[in-house]
Every structure is written in C-alpha cells, then in structure tokens.
Amino acid sequence: MTDAPTLGSDLKRLEEIVRRLEEQDLDLEAALALFEEGVARLREAQKKLGETEARVLQVVQESSGELRTAPLDG
Amino acid sequence: MSGMDEAWSVTRLARTIKRRVEDEFPAVWVKGELVGVKRYPSGHWYFGLRDAEAKVDCTMWKFAAARLKGPLEEGTEVFVLGTPNVWEERTSLRFNVTQVLPASGVGAQAQAVEQIKQRLLVDGLLDPARKRPLPPYATRIAVVTSIAGAAVRDIITVAARRWPGVELLVVNSAVQGDGAPQELVDALAIVSRLERIDCCIIGRGGGSKEDLAAFNDEALCRAIASCPVPVISAVGHEVDVTLADLVADVRAATPSQAAEFALPDRMAVQRLLSELGSRLFGMTLATVGEQQLRLERTRDRMTAALTTRLRTVERRLLNVHGRLAPALTRHVTRPREKLLRLEATLAPAMRRQVTRRQADTARLAAQLDALSPVAVLGRGFAVPLGDDQRVLRTTADFTVGRHFNLRVADGTVEARVEESP
C-alpha cells in the first residue's frame, strides 16, 4: 500500500523545509529546490484544507461477512 | 475535667448532647439493611438500619412516608437520607429519615462493575502508559454508536465544522439494553477491518445509569483495549464515567467533545499553514533576494558599460557622417557634373568629326574607283587571266592552244590561242 501524502505528512515536511531554510546556509540551487517543494506541499495542504464535502458513510456487514458502505442519510 | 461543684444537670447534659449531635450535622445518605420495620397507625414508620457491625434506630414521619413508592420491607437493602435526632427525654438517638431508595440492583451492579474494574486493572488495561495518542490530523474516523441517537448527529455536526474534508464511517450498534454490549463488541470488530482509519469514537448521548450500563461491560472494555486504532469514548454527560471511559485512549465528556478531540481545527491548521507559508517565502526571498541584488547590481553595471560603448560608437558615427557628405560631394557629385558637361561638348564635336570622315571616305572611294581594273575594263579594256587567275602579261604567256579567260567589264569570256603571235 503506497501512502499518499496526508495533510499531516505535508505539514511535517513543510515544517522541516522551513526549518532547513531558516537554519542552514544553503546554496541558491538547494534553497530553490527546497522552496519549490515547499510551495508544492503548501498547495497540496491548502487543497486538502479546502475540501468542503464531509462524507458520512454507514458501514454495514453483509450476511456473507463482507463490509459495505453507503451514505448515511442525514 | 470539671470539679464536683460544677456538676451539670442531666438536662444540661442531654441538651448539650442533642446540640452537639444535631447542629450542623449534614443530611447524609446511609446504606443498610432494614430491620424491625414497624408501621404505626399514626402513619409513622419505625425501623432499624444495620450492617455487619452496627445498628441505628430510625424514624420516618408520616409526611415523609407518604412519598414512599411501596411499603418498607424487612431485610431489604436500602439507601436512606436523613439527619440524626436526639430525644431529650431519654437522650436516645434516632436517625430521622426523609427518603428511602431500594439499593437492590444498584448495589449489586455497582459491585459487579467494581469487580470488572479490578480485573481490568490487574490486566493492565487501565494503565495510563498504554493509552495511545490521537493522530494529529485525522481525516477518516470510525464512529460506533446508534444511528438513531443524538450522539451521531452531534459528532457529524462538530466534525463537519472543524474539518470539512472529514470522512466519517458510522457503524451502527444498540447502545442500551441487554444486546448492546455484544453489538458494540461486534461493531468494534468491524472497525478493526476498516482501512486507513485514524481513530474511533465510541459512545452515546446522556441517559440514566442503567442506560449507560452497556459501557461497563467487560467484553466491550477488552474490545476497546485491543482496537487497532486509538479509541475515544464519549458516554453520556460530563458526570458519567463508565469503564469504557477508563479503558479508552481518550475520554471525552460528550460526543461533541469526542469529535473535537478527534479532528484538528481547520482554522488552526489554516493559521499554521499561513505561518509556514510566510516563513517559507520569507526565507527563500532572503536567500534569493541576496543573489538577486547581486544580479541586479551586475546588470546595472553591464547596462552602464554597454551604454558608454554605444555612445562612443554613436559619436564616431555621427562624426564620420558629418565628414562623409562633403567627401561625397567632392568625389562623386562634382565628377559627375563634369562628365555631363564634357558629354555636352563632346557630342556635337563627334558628330562633326563623323560627317567629315564620311565625306573623305566618299571622295577616296571615287578615287579608288577610278584606279580599279574593273573601272578600266569599263572603258573597254579586257584582261586575260590564266587558269590560275594570273594575268597573262607577255606574248610568251600565249602559247598556241592555250585556253584562258578574258575578263571584261560585265563578265568573263573563254578564249583560246589560235596562232602564235
């Protein structure tokens, strides 16, 4: 199972990038590479934050033992 | 110790005892077994309340007894609420009861809960060290509760407000009644099969102690402890604490609070993101800015140098241009004018020359014509020509029988020598 970056991992990486930019004396190329990644993570996180549709599903176990999900009427 | 001359009267003793006992003695609940229950025709009740080691005489006056739901029964376990009262005449103490509740059920249940708690404690399930932290940015949360209850609505409302992108997976279960504990255990088993769940909320809204009893079930407590993701319990209200609350990784006072614990606040994360963003841009700008400044300075110097060079070349060009015009006049315009002038004078001269030459030529031709043998022939002379076109000039040239041509003015006549001259 590949782990898509979660908001948590995005934030963690962003914090690391900012810290490295702040603490280390980087040459321009490295700094720009970090910056670019930082901007990408920032966008990604903003996107996740912008998701507005809360999904509420009900999980039901079929008689076969299979799990089935369906929107919970609300 | 007082002297004999200061001896108290019995009345004083009795009143002092009464005062000491009754003053500021709070109304207390006392648990005990009813013994010697007697109801008088007046409507008052008299009984004893005892446990393994002590006994207290009690009275319950008619007005308080009127609120009893049923007659007091000998030997039953009860909770009584009352205050101590001393009867001066005999200095005897009675507990004056205002309320009686049957302890049956309540007591037994509490005891059973206590026993389960002890077992959980022994097994280490109540150890604070085994409590798991909640993931900081949960987005997929399992909820075990009754879909008919208020709790699920509260959780959905709060969750959607805090984290609009949240995904809630609700597993329905009875939360009260005899079947509830097993249903809750089964629901947790389903939760453990769900993928990518960040944490699980299990709970229900408020209710009576009996309504919440399912959450004291031992099997449920053990299921909570072995749930693969952190469990937040949210049972009833703030004041209700069940064993499930003690075993859960986090106890929320209410279902709404559980949702708050489970999910980050969108606004707070937004603030964090903004802060990180401005730090990111700020730092990079600082690094880039320095380089950019150098670049700009270089560019400015380059521009300045280039401009200087251009100006120099331009000046030289202007200078050359200024001198070019007169030079052009000198070397091109003037010679051309001169040429035109020459041409103008040359043409008539040429024509004159040509005319003269033509006249000369005509005269010479006439002279030449007079001298031509052809012209001589015109005057009646003839020229004998040998086969080789040589002129036969002497008699020796005319041998008998020789053929020759005689050229006359308008042609040639063939001839032959007949006789020797």
Which residues on B lie below 8 Å from A18 (Cβ)? 276, 279-280, 283
Question: CA B16 to CA B10: how far, in whole Å?
Answer: 10
Contact state of B276 with A21 under an 8 Å Cβ cutoff: no
At B110 the pLDDT is 73
Which residues on A lie below 8 Å from B153 (Cβ)? 74
In angstroms, the separation between the Cα of residue B222 and the nearest Cα of chain A is: 22
At A19 the pLDDT is 84
Question: CA B367 to CA B361: how far, in whole Å?
Answer: 10
Strand partners, B416: B403
**pLDDT tens-digit series, residues B117-129:** 889 988 999 998 9
For residue A62, the one-letter residue type is: E
Is pLDDT above 70 for A74?
A: no
Q: Are B210 and B181 in contact (CB under 8 A)?
A: no
Mutate to test the interface with B, among A14, A56, A66 (most CBs of B within 10 A): A56
Quick check: A14 contacting B, CB < 8 Å?
A: yes
At A2 the pLDDT is 43
Contact state of A54 with B159 under an 8 Å Cβ cutoff: yes
At B4 the pLDDT is 82
In angstroms, the separation between the Cα of residue A69 and the nearest Cα of chain B is: 8
Mutate to test the interface with B, among A32, A72, A73 (most CBs of B within 10 A): A72
Q: Are B270 and A8 in contact (CB under 8 A)?
A: no
At B411 the pLDDT is 84
Rg over alpha carbons for chain A, rounded to the nearest Å, is 20
In angstroms, the separation between the Cα of residue B217 and the nearest Cα of chain A is: 23
Which residues on A lie below 8 Å from B270 (Cβ)? 49
| Partner residue opposite A8 with nearest CB, options B135, B280, B283 | B135
For residue A5, what is the nearest residue in chain B, using CA coordinates? B137
Is pLDDT above 70 for A52?
A: no
Strand partners, B329: none
Tokens for B229, please give them.
Answer: 């993701």
Mutate to test the interface with B, among A1, A3, A7 (most CBs of B within 10 A): A7
Q: Please give the full DSSP string across B77-99, using - where no structure is assigned.
A: EEEEEEEEEEETTTTEEEEEEEE
In angstroms, the separation between the Cα of residue A52 and the nearest Cα of chain B is: 5
Is pLDDT above 90 for A27?
A: no
Quick check: A33 contacting B, CB < 8 Å?
A: no
Phi, psi at B141, each rounded to 5°: -125, 135
Is pLDDT above 80 for A4?
A: no
Q: Are A32 and B288 in contact (CB under 8 A)?
A: yes
Quick check: A29 contacting B, CB < 8 Å?
A: no
Question: CA B304 to CA B372: how far, in whole Å?
Answer: 93
Query: For the whole prediction, is pTM greater than 0.80?
Result: no
Strand partners, B404: B415
| Partner residue opposite A54 with nearest CB, options B136, B164, B279 | B164
Q: For each of chain B's 421 residues, which pLDDT tens digit applies? A: 677 888 999 999 999 999 999 987 888 889 999 999 999 999 999 999 998 899 999 999 999 998 887 888 888 888 899 999 998 888 899 999 998 888 765 556 777 888 898 899 889 999 989 999 998 888 899 999 999 999 999 999 999 888 877 899 999 999 998 899 999 999 999 999 999 999 999 999 888 877 888 999 999 999 999 999 999 999 988 777 899 999 999 999 999 999 999 998 888 888 888 888 888 887 767 777 777 777 888 888 888 888 888 888 888 888 888 887 777 777 778 888 888 888 887 777 778 888 888 888 887 777 766 666 666 677 777 888 888 888 888 888 888 888 888 888 788 888 888 887 6
DSSP B42: T
At B370 the pLDDT is 65
**pLDDT tens-digit series, residues B163-185:** 877 899 999 999 998 899 999 99
Is pLDDT above 70 for A34?
A: yes
For residue B330, the one-letter residue type is: R
Question: CA B140 to CA A69: how far, in whole Å?
Answer: 14
For residue B195, what is the nearest residue in chain A, using CA coordinates? A1
Which residues on A lie below 8 Å from B186 (Cβ)? 61
Which residues on B lie below 8 Å from A34 (Cβ)? 284
